[in-house]
Each structure stands twice: as C-alpha cells, then as structure tokens.
Amino acid sequence: MGPPWWQAKFRGCGYRITIAREVILNTLAKTEDHLSAEDIYNHIHTKHPNIGLTTIYRTLDVLTNLGLVYRFDFGDKRARYELAEGPKGAHHHHHLVCTGCNRVVDYTDFIDAEVRLLQEIEQVLSKKYGFKITNHLIQFYGLCSRCQADG
Amino acid sequence: MGPPWWQAKFRGCGYRITIAREVILNTLAKTEDHLSAEDIYNHIHTKHPNIGLTTIYRTLDVLTNLGLVYRFDFGDKRARYELAEGPKGAHHHHHLVCTGCNRVVDYTDFIDAEVRLLQEIEQVLSKKYGFKITNHLIQFYGLCSRCQADG
DNA sequence: AACTTTGTTGAAAATCGTTTCCATTTGAAA
DNA sequence: TTTCAAATGGAAACGATTTTCAACAAAGTT
Ligand SMILES: [Mn+2]
Ligand SMILES: [Mn+2]
Ligand SMILES: [Zn+2]
Ligand SMILES: [Zn+2]
C-alpha cells in the first residue's frame, strides 16, 4: 500500500519522519474526538513512555503549519486538534459546542449552503478590505440536551 | 438624560455600581478597537492609578455574564472584548482577522444573508442534535494588505 | 449622619497551558 | 559507518488569568 500518505508532504518540507510524529498523527487519525496536547500524551504514554509532552506540542505546531491538522479553541482553556485531511481526503465540517460540558459535535448539514455563501462573502471582503482570505471559522454555541436537563 | 443606560441592568442583578465598572464600560464604549484586559488597564491607568488589573478581569467577567460585552479569541493569546450593545443599541457584525499582525476588522457586508442562513441552520441543528443554540461565531482569517506586502 | 451588611477591591501569590533552554539523541544523506 | 543538522525530553521559564485575603465602600436601615 505504499508509504503512508503524509510522508511525502513531510519530506518535501525538509521535516524528518520520526516515531513520535507518526504516533501522534495516527492518534489523531484514529479518533473522532478533538484532542488536546495532553489528551494525546495520555493516549500515547502507555505504549510510548519515552515521548514527552514537549514533543507533542512541537509536533502539533509542525502539523498545523503543514496544514495537516487544524487547531481549535472551543472555550475551555486548551487548544484542541483534529486532522485536516485523512487518507480518504478531507471532510469539511463545522462545529457545535456545548458551553456547559464542552462537548463538541461535528456537523455537515447545510455545509454546502454555508460554504457557498462564505465564498461569496470572501470575494466581497477580499476586494473591499484588501485582505487575502485563507480560512474561516464557524461555530455554534449552546447547551447540549444533557446540560439543558441539568439546568 | 437620566441614569446611564446600563445601570438598571446592573442593579437588577444585584451588582453594585462602582467607579471601576463605570470607567471600564466607558472605555469600551469609546473605542473602535477590540481591547484586551491589559489594554483597558493601560487606557485607564493614568487617570485612575488606583484601579488594578485584577478588577478589570473581574469586571469583564461580570459584563460578559450580563451580556453587555462579548469576549473574543482572535488567535493572539489574550482575550479581547467589545461592547455588545451601546446606548444606541447593538450593531451586529462579524470579524476579519489578519493572521500576520492581528489587526481585526468589523464587517457588516452580507450580515443579513449570513444571519438568515445561520438562523435556518440553527433550527435544523437544534432539532437534530438536541442543542439549545444561544450564539454563533463567524470569523474570516487572512492577511491584510500591509502584511501581504511585507510578504 | 452613624451603623450594618455584604459586595468589591488591590496586591501578591498561585495556576496552568504552553514555550524555551540545552545537553543528548537520532534520521538520513553521503 | 561517518557526519551533522534536525529532533527530543526534562526542567525551568513564561504569561495570561485566577485565587486568596485583609481592607474597603455601596446602599439599605436606623
Ligand atoms: Mn471536528
Ligand atoms: Mn468587532
Ligand atoms: Zn453539554
Ligand atoms: Zn496584517
């Protein structure tokens, strides 16, 4: 099945391929969640006690700069990460965040309509404000059913 | 002209009206910028050397909880604040953020179309995921003209 | 105006996610 | 292998925000 899909991008940018990087990327690839650096450390630590938290932070920076990973702020005080594109390619989505328990739901409903409007807006804003727009962020905040019940 | 517009809301929630709170609110009311706690401290400090940074953090919490102020994260590592509604009422807008210099631009272009779509989406998501949605966040990221030039 | 209650304040210390330092290790090119 | 810059881990530093706590003051009551 050839070399893992991400290694080309890695080499192309002069980055080395290391166990730590492979393990971290695989951890993100396997989960549905939006993991923090420490989450990843905990997931990994039993099998790889020699990978330090510092390396995880550094690797997440690299991955983010390469565009392989997105970094999010959901309002708890730590950065959270998710894979931007997997072996199967990207599946663009936006987020629904519970302000009660910090649960995060991916949704793709209306994504097409959203993205269509966003592109229209980007065009206008680019021209009007002289920005070169590279990215957007859409999040909805509210209370999940569980947190509504807890009142 | 009667008592300042915000005092009613304050009293109603059992909060006291203090000089610090008045000064902080006025600072936010007078600026076009998105100030951080320290920004506000600096704006205020000459005229009110007795107002401490801690009080500013605490006041911003109160104001945010009252809904008088919005708290934002624009990617530099500090929270930034803006008035939610002034004497003249709110003017809903979204943000364009330069990832080079952290400049933030308010825009209202397409706001109606955005909000219309957002409301539609909120309805669907509320039902589908059982969330009670209270809020949304839309931001565009890119490079401002100055930062594009610096290349 | 003095008294009382209880929210508010400032300064210093604590917190905690993240970054930096630096001596050591390792990937990969030759 | 040899070589050398890139990568690593652990400890220390950082920096925005929060907590602690004794002193203070807003607003209601007498
Ligand atoms: Mn997601
Ligand atoms: Mn704004
Ligand atoms: Zn919840
Ligand atoms: Zn800029």
Query: Does residue A140 belong to the interface with chain B, where contact is any CB pair within 8 Å?
Result: yes
* Architecture (CATH level 2) of domain A92-151: 2-Layer Sandwich (3.30)
Chain D positions within 7 A of any protein Cβ atom are 6-11, 15-20, 25-28
Long-range contacts of B83-90 (CB under 8 A, 24+ apart): B83/B25, B83/B28, B83/B29, B86/B29, B87/B5, B87/B29
Q: In terms of CA atoms, which chain B residue is nearest residue A113?
A: B117
Cβ atoms of A56 and A40 within 8 Å: the answer is yes
pLDDT at A98 over 70: yes
Bridge partners for A133 per DSSP: B142
Return the exposure string of B114-137: e unless at least 16 CB atoms fall within 10 Å of the residue's CB, then b: beebbeebbeebeeebebebeebb
Q: Report if CB A56 to strand C is under 7 Å.
A: no
Give pTM, 2 decimals: 0.91
Closest CA of chain B from A31, distance in Å: 20
Bridge partners for A142 per DSSP: A98, B133
* Architecture (CATH level 2) of domain A1-87: Orthogonal Bundle (1.10)
Q: Kindly report the average pLDDT of chain B as a whole number.
A: 92
Burial of B57 (0-12, 13-18, 19+ CB in 10 A): middle
| pLDDT digit string, tens, across residues A42-56 | 999 999 999 999 999
Q: Report if CB B71 to strand D is under 7 Å.
A: no
Closest CA to A36 of A3, A79, A69: A79
Q: Break chain B into its structural domains and give their ranges.
A: 1-87, 92-151
**Cβ pair B136:A138 closer than 8 A:** yes
- Contact list in A for residue B126 (CB cut-off 8 A) is 142
| pLDDT digit string, tens, across residues B88-132 | 666 889 999 999 999 999 999 888 888 899 999 999 999 999 999
**Cβ pair B129:A117 closer than 8 A:** no
Closest CA of chain B from A49, distance in Å: 30
Residues 6+ apart with CB under 8 A from A13: A66
pLDDT at B134 over 90: yes
Mutation target for A interface from B127, B129, B146: give the one with most A CBs within 10 A: B129
